Amino acid sequence: MKNRDNELSKKYIKEIKSADVWSVFKIIADFVKGFDELGDLGPTVTIFGSARTDKENIYYKKACDLSGMLAKEGFNIMTGGGPGIMEAANRGTDKYEVESIGLNIDLPFEQALNPYTTKELTFDYFFSRKVMLVKYSMAYVIFPGGYGTLDELFESLTLVQTKKVTGVKIFVVGNEFFQPLLDFIESKLLRDGMINREDLELIQLTDDLEYVVREVKTSLINQIEVLEDVGLKDTSYYKSLSRLKK
């Protein structure tokens, strides 16, 4: 019996090691695909939110409205590609000649690509997908959602807090939904010294969609100035930003 168990253990370990090797290739494929397809995007805003929000929900309508307002100004819209808030954000770009990007995740349930994208990619891993969602955007807008959305919110905050990304603004839409979370962050994390006051101020909580659009446009101008300061006026990214400034 012991020998049989040992053989099963060896077989199990061998399968794990084999899977690890293939996982490396799949991870590399995720990143290569993302860099190749998204590397030439112009100014883009990523919108996060629940996949379970129905079309009658107020936040579905707000996400659709906001993406339309941003698209009208020439900003591409990027989402996780699924239903709910993601669908609404992609849907809002319909009338405008911008990219509506959906970065889908391969899941056994819930996540199906919505029909309102002009460019879509499907990823095997959450972490590689998340890199693409934040890497190519100049602002992140977080609508109400569950574990995945909160993960994306705190990932975004961590990246900006640690300056792994710079010049990016984080907007949280939904005062009623998110205020208890911000109260917790202030009363626990800030009070106990886990974060600084400026870390808390990274979160811009609002229901004013026009404010979000104004701030994104301000961020655009700031990024243009930074690119000029570091001598990158000849890059395609600088030129794409400059077109919107006009």
Q: Is residue 8 part of a domain?
A: no
Q: Which two tokens stand for residue 188?
A: 């626990």
Residue 39 pLDDT = 84
Query: Phi and psi at residue 30, in whole multiples of 5°?
Result: -60, -50
Q: With contact defined as beta carbons under 8 Å apart, do 141 and 47 qualify? A: yes
State the Cα–Cα distance between residues 194 and 199, nearest whole angstrom: 10
Domain of 114 in residue numbering reads as: 43-208
Q: Is residue 92 part of a domain?
A: yes
28: amino acid identity, one letter: I
What's 166's domain CATH number?
3.40.50.450
Q: Is residue 103 part of a domain?
A: yes
Q: Is residue 171 part of a domain?
A: yes
Q: Is residue 38 part of a domain?
A: no
Q: Is residue 79 part of a domain?
A: yes
* pTM summary value: 0.87
Residue 21 pLDDT = 65
Closest CA to 124 of 46, 21, 25, 17: 25
Residue 24 pLDDT = 80
Q: Is residue 154 part of a domain?
A: yes
Binned average pLDDT, 10 residues per bin, the chain of 246 residues: 58 56 79 88 95 96 98 96 96 96 78 89 89 93 97 96 91 98 97 97 97 94 84 83 76
Residue 244 pLDDT = 81
Q: Is residue 220 part of a domain?
A: no
In this structure, the strands spanning 76-79 and 44-48 are parallel
Q: Which two tokens stand for residue 201?
A: 């101020």
| 3-state class (DSSP) for residue 169 | strand
Counting the structural domains of the chain, the total is 1
Q: With contact defined as beta carbons under 8 Å apart, do 90 and 79 qualify? A: yes
